[in-house]
Amino acid sequence: MDAPNAYTSGHHESVLATHRRRTIANSAQYLEPQLTMGRTLLDVGCGPGTITIEFGARVGDANVVGVDMAEAAIAAARTHAADVGSTVRFERANATGLPFDDNSFDIVHTHQTLQHVPDPVAMLREMGRVARPGGVVAAREVDYAATTWFPELPGLAQWLELYRRVHRATSGEPDAARRLVSWARAAQLHELHLSASAWVFATPAERNWWGEAWAERALESDFARQAVDGGHAQISELRAISDAWREWTRHDDGWFSMTHGELLAAPPPG
């Protein structure tokens, strides 16, 4: 039986490895003009903290806090910070009940977290609460239904259909990007600025890294457990999906892209 509001992917090493690869350049370019020294920043759903620590290098470590609900993610972020000599602070917190006063931060950022919470409007409203007047709420979300790949392997089509079904059964909305405007308006954010960008995996090194990561996730992450325990797939189907990912990595003309929506908004007036 599905566990409602469980994190679809979990924190298996194959998942954290993909999260660690996120940088400002590949996941937060739309926010760069806001990243000036001295501004305070809260990173909600920080995961293992890669982007969060980069934010600290731009605005000052003492001005940045990363929060995540998962203790495993916070532990990984603190370890990474220690490894690179960063003093960015990481705390465990619920995204819909942030432990900060109103008007605490100049920038309140999230990346691929709204899709995993039971009430994304409540999360955006909470992000707006802790953002200062004149500050910004920033969100970047993927849209799984807009994912494209080549060659058009049936196993990857099976993966996408299964992933979206498991995600909805356990963890919210996989096609979050197209809903950003609706969620932001419902949260009473205003001065909305929208953009889009994509992750693209097409070089041999990119294909091998991304395909191998998903081949492992298809069998060993919480996604695999939830797919089987929830009655969405048999282990034989997951093996076939894993094999399809590895087949895709071997295609010299392989392509994979994931479209993301990006939101910059002002907190609610007053």
How sure is the predictor about 1, in pLDDT bands with cuts at 50, 70 and 90?
Answer: very low
| Tens digit of each residue's pLDDT (9 = 90 or more) over 19-56 | 668 899 999 999 999 999 999 999 999 999 999 999 99
Question: Is the pLDDT score of 9 beyond 90?
Answer: no
Q: Is 162 in a helix, a strand, or coil?
A: helix
| Tens digit of each residue's pLDDT (9 = 90 or more) over 161-190 | 999 999 999 879 999 999 999 999 999 999
Residue, of 222 and 131, whose pLDDT is higher:
131
* Length of the chain (residues): 270
pLDDT, mean over the chain: 93
Beta bridge partners of 182: none
Quote the tokens at residue 163: 């992933």
Q: Is 149 in a helix, a strand, or coil?
A: strand
Q: What percent of the chain has pLDDT over 70?
A: 93
* Total Cβ atoms within 10 A of residue 266: 17
Sorted by where each begins, the domain ranges of the chain are 13-266
Considering the segment(s) 13-266 as one domain, its CATH architecture is 3-Layer(aba) Sandwich (3.40)
Sort 105 into a burial class: Cβ within 10 Å, 0-12 / 13-18 / 19+.
Answer: buried
Given this model, what pLDDT does residue 52 score?
97
Alpha carbon distance 182, 64 (integer Å): 28
How sure is the predictor about 243, in pLDDT bands with cuts at 50, 70 and 90?
Answer: very high
Return the closest-CA partner of residue 177 out of 157, 194, 158: 194
The secondary structure of the chain in percent helix, strand, coil, rounded to multiples of 5, reads 50, 25, 30
The identity of residue 168, as a single letter, is R
Q: Is 173 in a helix, a strand, or coil?
A: coil
Torsion of CA 3, 99, 15, 204, to 10 degrees: 140
Given this model, what pLDDT does residue 3 score?
43
Tell me the mean pLDDT in the region 256-270.
Answer: 95
Question: Is the pLDDT score of 148 beyond 90?
Answer: yes
Residue, of 242 and 7, whose pLDDT is higher:
242
Residue with tokens 């991304």: 210
Predicted TM-score of the model (pTM): 0.93
Beta bridge partners of 190: 266
| Tens digit of each residue's pLDDT (9 = 90 or more) over 58-110 | 999 999 999 999 998 999 999 999 999 999 999 999 999 999 999 999 999 99
* Total Cβ atoms within 10 A of residue 85: 8
Given this model, what pLDDT does residue 171 score?
78
What are the backbone angles phi and psi of residue 12, rounded to the nearest 5°? Answer: -60, 155
Tell me the mean pLDDT in the region 248-260.
Answer: 97
The full DSSP string for 120-138 is: HHHHHHHHHHHEEEEEEEE
Alpha carbon distance 159, 218 (integer Å): 8
- Say which residues have a Cβ less than 8 Å from residue 146's Cβ, sequence separation at least 6: 175, 177, 178, 258, 259
Question: Is the pLDDT score of 225 beyond 50?
Answer: yes
Strand 64-68 and strand 131-142: the pairing is unpaired
Torsion of CA 106, 259, 210, 88, to 10 degrees: 0
